[in-house]
Amino acid sequence: MKESVDNRVKKTMNRPMEGLKVLDFTHVLAGPFATRILGDMGADVVKINSADRAVSANEPAHPYYLMWNRNKRALALDLTKEDSRALCARLCRQADVVIDNFSVGVLDRWGLGYDTISKDNNKVVYVQMSGMGEGGPWEKFVTYAPTIQALSGLTHLTGVPGRENIGLGFSYNDHQAGLHGAVALLAALEARRRTGRGQRIDLSQFEVGVNFTGPTLLDYFANDVKARATGNKLPYDDAAPHGCYRCAGAASESLIDERWVAIACMNDQQWLAFKELMGNPEWAESPELALAAGRVARVNTIDREVGNWTAQYRAEDIMQRCQRAGVPAGVVQNGIDLVENDPQLKHSGFLNAIADDHPRVGTTYADSLPLHFQKTPCEDYQRVREVGEDNEAVLQDWLAMSDAEIKAAADAHLLT
């Protein structure tokens, strides 16, 4: 019998969520990110997958799967079969948490929904992380980050003026939905501690995105001002310079090697300090630039002149000089910077190779949970498991099934 990942972790750690049983039906990013947080904090997260569904982002060697599914055990069930669904229902009755980001109603159609399972397991917490939430004309929409971010207004708001089609290039809303899912689950567990009962949580990833447009909605309702793309400029504060500026030190003429620094003078004192750093150039001594409103009115001139100054120096040097002077500044870092050069991440040990090599990919890496628990540290990272790699261990641990029972389930092709 294979030793379970959970048992190996417990030998060395006492993490804050150990003992919590999570049945994870999620896929791609938002849901797996939520359950990765739980797994990092010690929950026994059992990832449900199957050989047929292990394609694209659900394939254990895919970068997305490798990134978001560490510290989870892998159970393979063929949920197209009635007997597999019955076995899965037994697992749901043992779970503290069942979480999915299918379209609304999938678990219900399989006989695994909250209304069915809670009759026997009234302490279970269900988290449904669908794209649009339950009900409404868009309930059945198929959604991914680009469509959610577009519908919620984030794409429009994060574009460049005149190019509102640019928007966010990364799955920002997926991460936010994952965090919302984890927080909602913890809140439901606290409610269960007080009441003795679980509940079902309906999370709309669409509404998560709209939530992050709050100030623009308020501006519209209060002032009839329509949302607009502002690029690097602040829409509701007077601040200048406030942007990204090209620097010296590019390794080549390629765009990918350009070096940039972000500088944000948020008040007049920081502007004075920054002006002194630049050697108090004549253009910066104009009386109109003494106050933030005057600088914002002349932001194009400021951006041009600041860019001429930063182009003479390396981004790292400008950042250090600005920070010493009390001026907020940061290098626009790329992946190489973060992995190889960032002294802060090296100091904290944020990036680490996982000790147990993946059987097909080899060495994989963990970006550490950015939460540091003094009494219950979360510093153990187990590699992503292959489809069905923990079938025997999970069924034994959760359902106390014997070797013979597990073999019979495998022979009946309930496990894939």
Instruction: Please tell me the distance from the alpha carbon of residue 281 to that of residue 287, in angstroms, as a whole number.
Output: 13
Instruction: Enter the DSSP assignment of 368.
Output: P
Q: What residues are paired with 202 via a beta bridge?
A: 128
CATH of 242-332, one of 2.60.40.10, 3.30.1540.10, 1.10.3720.10, 3.40.640.10: 3.30.1540.10
Task: Return the minimum-mean-pLDDT range out of 40-54, 86-100, 208-222, 249-263.
Answer: 208-222
Instruction: Report yes or no: 27 and 2 within 8 Å, Cβ to Cβ.
Output: no
Q: Is the peptide bond before 241 cis (omega within 30 degrees of 0)?
A: yes
Q: What does the alpha-carbon distance between residue 60 and residue 66 come to, in Å, rounded to a whole number?
A: 6
**Residue 321: CA count within 13 A, CB half-sphere:** 16
Q: What is the pLDDT of residues 165-183, one digit of tens each?
A: 777 777 899 999 999 999 9
| CATH class assigned to 5-211+349-411 | alpha beta
Which DSSP state fits 12? T
- Domain limits of the chain? 5-211+349-411, 242-332
Sign of dihedral through CA atoms 77, 80, 82, 88? positive
CA distance 176 to 39: 18
Both tokens assigned to 315: 């981004």
Per the listing, tokens 């199957």 go with 50
Cβ(331)–Cβ(315) under 8 Å?
Answer: yes
What confidence tier does 374 reach under pLDDT thresholds 50, 70, 90? Answer: very high
Q: What is the C-alpha separation between 160 and 302, in angstroms, rounded? A: 18
Dihedral sign computed on CA atoms, order 185, 189, 192, 194 = negative
Q: What is the mean pLDDT of residues 390-415?
A: 96
CB-count burial class (<10 Å; 0-12, 13-18, 19+) for 255? exposed
pLDDT score for 2: 45
Rounded distance between C-alpha atoms, residue 258 and residue 198, angstroms: 52
Residue-level pLDDT at 191: 98
Structure confidence by residue, pLDDT tens digits, 17-46: 999 999 999 999 999 999 999 999 999 999
Question: pLDDT at residue 329 above 70?
Answer: yes
* DSSP letter (8 states) at residue 249: -
Instruction: Pinpoint the alpha helices (H) of 170-223.
Output: 172-195, 205-211, 214-223
**Do the bridges between strand 329-331 and strand 72-76 make them parallel or antiparallel, or are there none, so unpaired?**
unpaired
The pTM (predicted TM-score) of the whole model is 0.91
